[in-house]
Amino acid sequence: MQLIYEQSVSGRRGVKLPASDVPSAACLPKNLLRSEAAGLPELSELDLVRHFTRLSRRNFSVDTNFYPLGSCSMKYNAKVLENSAALFAPFHPMTALLPGGEEYCQGTLGMLYDLGQLLTDITGMDEVTTQPLAGAHGEMTGILLISAYHRARGKKKKYVVVPDSSHGTNPASAAIAGYEIITVPTAPYGDMDLDLFRQAMNDEVAAVMMTCPNTLGLFNPHIKEISDIAHSHDALMYYDGANLNAIMGKVKPGDVGFDVIHVNLHKTFGTPHGGGGPGSGPVGVKKALAPFLPQPRIVMDDEGKFVMESVKSGTIGRTANFFGNFGVMAKAYAYIIMLGREGLINVSEQAVLNANYIKERLRDYYELPYDKTCMHECVFSASRQLEHGVHAIDISKFLIDRGYHPPTVYFPMIVKEAIMIEPTETESKATMDAFIEVMIEAAKTAESNPQALHEAPLTMPVGRLDETKAAREQNVCCAG
């Protein structure tokens, strides 16, 4: 595809600007004046519309195709949420910070306050900060809160415990906050090995970070026991909320012993993500950790007005500008209000039902390393296909040719040739059936014609990429 600069034809115009009514540039400092024309591309409106429309059609999105990306809850983003977020658009983020500015944005501050209240209710926590800009950022904020908590009580703690099925951001966040990591292996039954966990625990452990259901899509039945063991060593329990979509209205993490949680609004609460952002990872805490939360916080005063609470000592400080990624929060708020309690419960039930449906329909074709009822996602292994020289990546590329975004592959890392499928609640049985047929076709092709899978994708502008090089030396201009 020709780049927009290459399509430029001297003298071609898309718009005609009105004559300038600004006094001559003489009043501007000389060094700020442009001496040469800006060299912008010159195109007609139609050229431009076609260019961007063509580009948009090369974008894979949940609006165009099924996107069963495990661990990431790529659900449909209802358009009504965009409208709701747009209602807040006229406010400049500085408004609340100006003297007397709170007067002018009671609705905005109230929304953030209310969202915090709803999240505390859903998660079983006492207080929430909306500042963190993503799940990983929430983890770092949460671990800094835990660190501040132990320090304030004069405790020196050295370790953070994670299961080996954890998302890489868990140990990374803990390491950034200055902790050493203890990794506990997963038992053959698919949960963190309870005996090895007991052995790993000691009084220098600051926190245990868990995802529940974990990245194998399995809910840990021993979670209360695990948190009791952690608390007996004065360690806190951190809940990675990336998989909250599986349990809303069923289990509150705060009720089973978790002390700190992040919620990925861009996963569970129907706001768009992908391509690197934007995200939002509010962090909820139990009362004992509230004094350390980022400031300022929005509180309701005696007259029912929303005000920003002044900075107190003990806080870990700001972890983001303003109150975080506001647009994402406005959409998540609309999502929660729109669905209500029953709706959220229904979301989780449907998400779990859909994942189990796919698991059952594909079990004859793909290996199930942990063969149990799953929650919102199911994890297969392409080990049977590997006997024919076909890897999980080959199956992914084949799916692309058939119009499906590949599921997550090679994660969790404890599963060889992992294929992690998360349909979410928003997909119909018809969509899942069509996807299942293609997965079956891939399994059959692996036996009959493995070479065909090695050659996929054939329908895309680019074929197989060197994925490491593509990530490290990103070049989004030359799409061929």
Which residues bind to ligand PLP, rule: CB under 6 A?
A: 71-72, 134-136, 167, 169, 211, 215, 240, 242, 264, 279, 281
Phi, psi of 322 (to 5 degrees): 50, -130
Angle, helices 326-362 vs 106-123, to 10°: value is: 30
| Closer of 219 and 398 to ligand PLP (Cβ) | 219
The answer to whether the beta carbons of residues 139 and 176 sit under 8 Å apart is: no
DSSP state of 126: S
User: Could you tell me the smallest distance in angstroms from the CB atom of residue 74 to ligand PLP?
Assistant: 11
Which among 170, 376, 372, 345 has a CA at the least distance from the CA of 251?
A: 345
Place of tokens 């708020």: 333
User: Could you tell me the smallest distance in angstroms from the CB atom of residue 366 to ligand PLP?
Assistant: 21
| Closer of 336 and 456 to ligand PLP (Cβ) | 336
User: Could you tell me the smallest distance in angstroms from the CB atom of residue 167 to ligand PLP?
Assistant: 3
Give ∠ CA 373-376-380 in degrees, rounded to 5. 65
Residue 93 structure tokens: 């983020």
| Closer of 71 and 120 to ligand PLP (Cβ) | 71
Cβ-Cβ contacts under 8 Å for 402 (sequence gap 6 or more): 438, 441
| Closer of 274 and 291 to ligand PLP (Cβ) | 274
| Closer of 244 and 393 to ligand PLP (Cβ) | 244
| CA–CA dist 265, 272 (Å, integer) | 9
| Closer of 84 and 215 to ligand PLP (Cβ) | 215
User: Could you tell me the smallest distance in angstroms from the CB atom of residue 166 to ligand PLP?
Assistant: 7
| Closer of 227 and 408 to ligand PLP (Cβ) | 408
| CA–CA dist 153, 147 (Å, integer) | 10
User: Could you tell me the smallest distance in angstroms from the CB atom of residue 290 to ligand PLP?
Assistant: 23
| Closer of 68 and 445 to ligand PLP (Cβ) | 68
Place of tokens 């007996």: 232
The answer to whether the beta carbons of residues 422 and 70 sit under 8 Å apart is: yes
Instruction: Return the number of other C-beta atoms located less than 10 Å from residue 48's C-beta.
Output: 15
Query: Can the peptide bond before residue 412 be classed as cis, meaning omega within 30 degrees of 0?
Result: yes
| Closer of 43 and 376 to ligand PLP (Cβ) | 376
| CA–CA dist 264, 138 (Å, integer) | 8
**At 37, is the secondary structure helix, strand, or coil?**
coil
The answer to whether the beta carbons of residues 197 and 161 sit under 8 Å apart is: yes
Place of tokens 């591309």: 41
User: Could you tell me the smallest distance in angstroms from the CB atom of residue 72 to ligand PLP?
Assistant: 6
User: Could you tell me the smallest distance in angstroms from the CB atom of residue 443 to ligand PLP?
Assistant: 26
Burial class (CB in 10 A: 0-12, 13-18, 19+), 58: exposed
User: Could you tell me the smallest distance in angstroms from the CB atom of residue 330 to ligand PLP?
Assistant: 18
User: Could you tell me the smallest distance in angstroms from the CB atom of residue 135 to ligand PLP?
Assistant: 2
Q: What share of the chain is helix, strand, coil (3-state, %, to 5)?
A: 40, 10, 50
User: Could you tell me the smallest distance in angstroms from the CB atom of residue 211 to ligand PLP?
Assistant: 5
| Closer of 270 and 281 to ligand PLP (Cβ) | 281
